[in-house]
Chain A
Amino acid sequence: MALSRREALASMLAGAFLLPGTGCGAAQADPSRTLLPPTASEDFLARCIRCGRCAEVCTAGCIELHPPWAGAEAGSPFIVPRVAGCNTCTMCTQVCPSGALTPIEPEDVLDAVDMGLAYVDEGLCLSFLGRVCGVCHDACPFPGEAIVLGHHAQPQVLGACVGCGRCEERCPQIPAAIRVFRQDPGSPRWKGPA
């Protein structure tokens, strides 16, 4: 295949012409308010090949895929816990072909999964406002281990929280009084109203 320098350059450009088009595009979902599927590796975006198998196998229906204009994240999966939290079935980890998710079994979830950590806004939480709620505790897949209820069913999140987001999904308060945040260094953590 004979190729002149101009043709080669033009095609390199064709291959990379999306760089500005995709790099500047804002992701659809606010990255600080989304979670990655369980056991996402440190270099998740690099490892994910965007095949969508995790979203197709998700039994909770919580895994969505970034739209094509979402820059470097396009086609990769994310979870918006307020829409649907993860039910920790671990199917997505088992079907991932590229090692972006590490395969685990459901009984390993408490040890191996760290999607984020739930934070309670005591200024919003019904139980802190004099009503007895406790819905977050009942929604949690690890009640008693990840979250405990104190006096008047006031929730307290413990370090074992895997960040599945079911508490945020089920919280009856609007806006949610318990929210899950990724534990990435530098990610904005929400600690209640300023």
Chain B
Amino acid sequence: MRARHLAIQAFRRLCQVSALLFVLYAAISAHWRNFKVGHNSARLVGLLKNEAWGEAYALNERALSWFGEPLEVSDGFLGVPWGASIAGLPFTDPLSVAALASQGQLPPTSMLVGALIPLGLALVGGKLYCSFLCPARLVFELGGAVRMGLQRLGLPLGELGIPRLGLWVGLGLVLFSAGMGMGAFHLVLPYLSLSQGLAAWMLTGSAGVGLAIFGVLLLVEVFVAPGQICRSLCPTGAVLEQVGRAAPFRLRKVDPSACPSSCNLCQRVCPYGLFPGQETHHPSCDSCGRCTLVCPDNKLAHGLEWGAKRCSD
């Protein structure tokens, strides 16, 4: 059982790192495409920049050519998870569709199809996007590790709770974009500020303000309110949570026998401070599965379960 939990965690890290690498790769590829169109020669790129660039150029060309004409394949990896093309498939945040619709625009079919992917994932597995794919969550979890280290050193750190306002933040942003265009989302949405900041960095070579905004959010996560940005403020997370309220794939207590009253290990390890042992972790739980590793009796596991959940709020 423990091996299975560990495998899920390993798979989760793999997905998270892949999502982050995708954002970086899509932006770095812009340089590759420019070299490809302008020079189409690893040797020329090596002479123009330096050896390492030339080798990286050739490596990317070789990798892409496994899948077809390199430039065409490369054009299938674009954007940030907010509105991306991943191996040619569209992937869109439902909020971007809502913001476009709020301006009286009919979202094109490709965006609607792209939004079906995260929404479908939410209908089946709740907030799986948050725990398995969100690039910001990975960095926040690293921040959580730093926070734990600081606490071990005896630093008093904040433990602020924030009321659950994600839907209202989302509504505010959609209303804002109805009047002002879509220029505000990346100032608020953590994963968007991170990924747009990284993309701008890779494209232009200078770190964007997106990264600065995300840095502030990370400081809040580490020093002030751990887990609260994801749980209470992120509008995308809030939308996926509402869509996935009845999702059958969930983290649940597979052993119905009562836990020892003194044990709260699962609550202590939960990034949001939820209590899976008492089955009150729905609907905020994003099935990250960290609690499954610490439960001494293996009472917690991912699995399918139909019907209503006990909800904490």
Contact = CB atoms under 8 A, between A and B. Distances in A.
A91 interface: yes
Contact of B182 (A18, A50, A64, A67): A50
B172 A22 contact: no
B281 to A, nearest CB: 16
Interface stretch (B43-51, B96-104, B147-155): B96-104
Interface residues of B, number: 62
Interface string B192-206: 010010011001100
A68 B210 contact: yes
A74 to B, nearest CB: 4
Q: Which of A14, A47, A53, A59 has the most CB atoms of chain B within a 10 A radius of its CB? A: A53
A59 B33 contact: yes
A99 B92 CA distance: 14
Interface stretch (A4-12, A30-38, A121-129, A132-140): A4-12
* Binding site secondary structure of chain B: helix
A57 B90 contact: no
A165 B129 CA distance: 42
B43 to A, nearest CB: 20
Interface string B159-175: 00001110111111101
Given A1-B164, A91-B75, A97-B111, A50 B185 contact: yes
Given A51-B80, A56-B26, A98 B208 contact: no
B171 A57 contact: no
A73 interface: yes
A23 B179 CA distance: 11
Nearest to A71: B183
Interface of B: 26-27, 29-30, 33-34, 37-38, 75, 78-80, 82-85, 90, 92, 96, 99-100, 103, 105, 107-108, 110-111, 114, 163-165, 167-173, 175-176, 180-188, 193, 196, 199-200, 203-204, 208-210, 213, 233, 235, 313
A-B interface, 3 closest residue pairs, ranked by CB to CB distance from nearest? A15-B172, A51-B83, A11-B168
